[in-house]
A and B are shown apart, each in its own frame.
Chain A
Amino acid sequence: MGDCCLIVEFGQRVDSQINQITRAFAEHLLSHPIPGVYDVVPTYTTVAVHYHPESFLGDVLPWQRLQRQLEAVLTQGIETASAVARVVEVPVYYGGDQGPDLIEVAQKCGLAEEEVVQLHSSPVYTVYMLGFLPGFPYIGGLDKRLNMPRRKTPRTTVPAGSVAIAGEQAAIYPMESPGGWNLIGRTPVTLFQPQAEPPCLLQPGDKVRFVPISFEQFQAMQRQ
């Protein structure tokens, strides 16, 4: 990907097993660092390896040299240790000004608004990756009846805490930003704190449940 990043792909669909292998490969690269690689970014099915080309000088071009090293790691094999996942409950106020797309999602999916809330707050989800924004979790496990494409033109401003869906994915906006996902609710919980280590509430591999709350509860928790 460009002249300073290689992408290793393990599959092309949202799948907990593929994602587990993807995360294991990223963990391996983090615990056995390659000099010159400065960022390792696991996603649903890929691991991005960001590197400084000047650290990979030799008889072939830097991208070829790093590619050989990564192939060697994969040939040797990696451990896929599975730790017990945490379950994090995320309170959500659905609809109204906090979830401006709930009505449209319900209409396009042929459901009542209450059914959308019910379907969204029932499953135990898995955090597959973080990306797009600091602490932004891409969450898998969305009910297939809630499959909605991204909005044609992204909004220029989405408020922090917005709970959103797009395609097979669920997410939460940790801070105000532009965004193209469908906003169905909002959480009063803080997802990202720059001074904390690690700086984000949700980590890849975490389990997540969305818990519906009233507007009064939302306001009370926001004041805390």
Chain B
Amino acid sequence: MSVRVVKPGMLTTLQDRGRIGYQRFGVVVGGAMDDWSHRAANALVGNRQDEATLEITAVGPSLIFNEITLIAICGGDLSPRIGGEPVPQGRPVLVNAGSQLEFGARQSGFRVYLAVHGGFDVKPTMHSRSTYLRGVFGGLNGRALRAGDEIHIGNGDAEGCYPALTQRLDRAKPTFAAAPQAFVSSSANDALETVRIVRGEQWRAFVEKSQTAFISDDFTIGTQSDRMGYRIEGVTLKLRQPLEMLSEAVGFGTVQVPPDGNPIVLMADRQTTGGYPKIAHVASVDLPLLAQMSPRQRLRFHPIALDESQKLYLAREQALQDLIKSVVAWSGV
């Protein structure tokens, strides 16, 4: 089984949950920017959560499925359609052989996750199928999709997963059969977003005016933002006194402030360590929200305690387990 790339889209890469266990060699974790949508999409097609999905950015690709394929689309809304029909998101969709999936206007969000039952079958590098563009490794030869690519799909039983879809699929034309209800809704929103943060190790090293501004002013996501980091523009943040720090570990969502005072939120392709003061860390539960925000979008930071951040994290994990249960219950298998 395979999928053929007719048009690649702006930036479409294979991603999974990242390259685990190599950070001590400085190897970037990478993986899906919106881990929630990645995992939800995998859950909807009955995959393990670390199977690779396609991360589609802002402008979608055109893909032809060579055989009957079970897919799920989660995250942002880039108007997916097959044979002119809109393809509903957040649910399992059985796609007929020969169908072409296309995307159109961006309705909301910035990144879309496409999972296929059986997973995309590329050779793992350091135990991960995540594409690391800067390092040119992982995923499909370390690069984004190109027209003419053929990506293999792992073994599975697309037609056996959801009998309700298999029965309804019209095999005479390029089309699809979708579950009647969405199991997961998009976290994407184009309005001003509040992103929750936990105060960082060097929070107190910033002048009070900067501390206050950071959690009350509006900021804008800079146009130079990418999978490595979001450059945040707004009031510049000032330290009480110059601070030349030793490099130490950073994480997904760490907000570091270089000497020019413009914070950078470290995202999926972040470095493993850094030497700039850490004013905050984005709560893990809000990282998918941030990953769905696009350059020039406005946001505001709201502080919460570490305890609350972890409670939210655990609730989100429970939500994913509940999602898996509700899909299984619906499938009737």
Contact = CB atoms under 8 A, between A and B. Distances in A.
B25 A138 contact: no
A194 interface: yes
A34 interface: no
A204 B24 CA distance: 9
Interface in A36-51: 38-46, 48, 50
B249 A153 contact: no
A2 B279 CA distance: 11
Contacts of B309: 2-3
B284 A131 contact: no
A149 interface: yes
B246 A45 contact: yes
A72 B117 CA distance: 44
Contact of B247 (A44, A174, A176): A44
A53 interface: yes
B246 A131 contact: no
Interface in B230-282: 244, 246-254, 258-260, 271-275, 278, 281-282
Contacts of A63: 306, 310
B25 A53 contact: no
A40 B249 CA distance: 10
Contact of A150 (B23, B27, B201, B259): B259
Interface in A180-202: 180, 192, 194-195, 198-200
A169 interface: yes
A53 B22 contact: no
A149 B310 contact: no
B125 A38 contact: no
A191 to B, nearest CB: 10
A3 B313 contact: yes
A123 interface: no
Contacts of A133: 26, 28, 134-135, 271
Interface in A144-183: 149-150, 152-154, 156, 166-167, 169, 174-178, 180
A212 interface: no
A43 B273 contact: yes
B12 to A, nearest CB: 21
Nearest to B270: A132
B304 to A, nearest CB: 10
Contacts of A153: 258-260
A130 B273 CA distance: 8
A216 interface: no
Interface stretch (A4-12, A83-91, A98-106, A112-120): A4-12
Contacts of B24: 26, 39-42, 130, 204
A54 B317 contact: yes
A1 interface: yes
Contacts of A130: 24-26, 272
Nearest to B142: A194
Interface string A7-36: 100001110000000000010000000000
Contacts of A5: 249, 251
A43 B273 CA distance: 8
B309 to A, nearest CB: 4
B88 to A, nearest CB: 30
A41 B246 contact: no
Contacts of B23: 39-41, 48, 50, 131
B126 interface: yes
B126 to A, nearest CB: 7
Given A38-B21, A132-B273, A2 B198 contact: yes
Interface of A: 1-5, 7, 12-14, 26, 38-46, 48, 50, 53-54, 57, 61-63, 129-136, 138, 149-150, 152-154, 156, 166-167, 169, 174-178, 180, 192, 194-195, 198-200, 204
Given A43-B248, A48-B248, A152-B258, 17 more contacts: A2-B251, A2-B281, A2-B309, A39-B20, A41-B24, A50-B249, A61-B307, A132-B247, A132-B271, A134-B28, A135-B27, A152-B260, A154-B258, A192-B135, A194-B137, A198-B25, A200-B26
24 contacts: A1-B281, A2-B198, A3-B310, A39-B24, A41-B272, A42-B24, A43-B248, A45-B248, A48-B23, A53-B314, A54-B314, A54-B317, A61-B310, A130-B272, A131-B272, A132-B247, A132-B272, A133-B135, A134-B132, A135-B25, A153-B259, A169-B247, A180-B258, A198-B25
Query: What 10 A-B pairs come out closest when comparing CB atoms?
Result: A131-B273, A48-B249, A2-B281, A194-B137, A130-B26, A132-B271, A3-B309, A39-B23, A43-B248, A134-B27
